[in-house]
């Protein structure tokens, strides 16, 4: 019985902790391609990628996928997009155009 209460307490605490940092992104159609993007959970915007699901060292607890993008200001971020023309977007984000013609955002250096 104690284990059940402990598990319930941990589960409640975990849900409360993550309820502040993730949100449900509604499904939408990409205007550029006309493809539908299904609803999914994502981390709240906070000017860093350190706590994003897609960042190396982090795991999306909902899907089990591990991140692949270098953390902002890390050694790996220094060589990210090496050899590519880095462009700056209207809101300050930096990116380059990958081989598929899509934007690939660069971690802060």
Cβ atoms of 23 and 44 within 8 Å: the answer is: yes
Cβ atoms of 82 and 70 within 8 Å: the answer is: no
Question: What is residue 2's predicted lDDT score, i.e. its pLDDT?
Answer: 55
State pLDDT tens for residues 9-42.
555 544 444 434 778 899 999 999 999 999 988 8
Burial grade of 33 (CB within 10 A; 0-12, 13-18, 19 or more): exposed
Question: What is residue 5's predicted lDDT score, i.e. its pLDDT?
Answer: 46
Question: What is residue 17's predicted lDDT score, i.e. its pLDDT?
Answer: 43
């Amino acid at each position: 019985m104690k284990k059940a209460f402990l598990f319930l307490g941990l589960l409640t605490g975990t849900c409360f902790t993550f309820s502040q940092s993730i949100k449900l992104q509604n499904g939408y159609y990409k205007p550029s391609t006309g493809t539908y993007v299904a609803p999914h959970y994502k981390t709240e915007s906070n000017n860093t990628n350190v706590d994003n699901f897609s960042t190396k060292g982090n795991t999306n607890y909902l899907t089990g996928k591990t991140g692949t993008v270098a953390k902002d200001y890390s050694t790996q971020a220094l060589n990210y997009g090496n050899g590519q023309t880095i462009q700056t977007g209207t809101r300050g984000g930096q990116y380059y155009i990958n081989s598929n013609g899509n934007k690939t955002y660069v971690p802060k250096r």
